[in-house]
């Protein structure tokens, strides 16, 4: 009988935003923690921008009847979520680019 998750642990499932280090595996622990902290802060900022955009769209569309504010809110939502996606995939992108260069 073969159990697929026989040797895994919970950290492989909920590893957070820490990248799969790939070519950067030789970094020290302090450098890894600093990179993870910077990525976490950047993701929180991007999520804050998306939330601000949602609030701006909602307030502009209903309370103020301001279509420009609503459109600007849509742009902020897209920018914030795109930032989250890009930052979350940086580890993969760096690993692919490094692998193609070698």
In a domain, 4, yes or no: no
In a domain, 97, yes or no: yes
Q: Is 0.75 topped by the overall pTM?
A: no
Domain that holds residue 45: 28-101
In a domain, 34, yes or no: yes
In a domain, 83, yes or no: yes
C-alpha triplet 76, 79, 84: angle, nearest 5° = 125
Distance CA 13, CA 65 (A): 45
Distance CA 78, CA 72 (A): 10
In a domain, 93, yes or no: yes
Number of domains in the chain: 1
Residue 4: pLDDT band (50, 70, 90) is: low
Query: What confidence tens digit (pLDDT) does each residue in 53-87 have?
Result: 999 888 877 776 777 888 888 999 999 999 999 88
Average pLDDT over residues 88-101: 77
Residue 40: exposure state from Cβ atoms within 10 A (0-12, 13-18, ≥19): middle
In a domain, 3, yes or no: no
In a domain, 95, yes or no: yes
In a domain, 59, yes or no: yes
What 3-state class would DSSP assign to 36?
helix
The pLDDT, as a whole number, for residue 46 is: 93
Residue 34 has pLDDT above 60, yes or no: yes
Residue 23: pLDDT band (50, 70, 90) is: low
């Amino acid at each position: 009988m073969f159990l697929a998750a026989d040797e895994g642990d919970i950290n492989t499932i909920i590893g957070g935003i820490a990248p799969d280090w790939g070519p950067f595996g030789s970094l020290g622990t302090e450098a890894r923690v600093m990179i993870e902290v910077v990525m976490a802060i950047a993701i929180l900022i991007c999520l804050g921008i998306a939330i601000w955009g949602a609030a701006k769209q909602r307030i502009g569309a209903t309370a103020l009847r301001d279509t420009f504010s609503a459109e600007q809110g849509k742009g902020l939502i897209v920018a914030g979520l795109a930032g989250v996606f890009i930052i979350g995939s940086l580890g993969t992108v760096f690993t692919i680019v490094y692998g193609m260069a070698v």
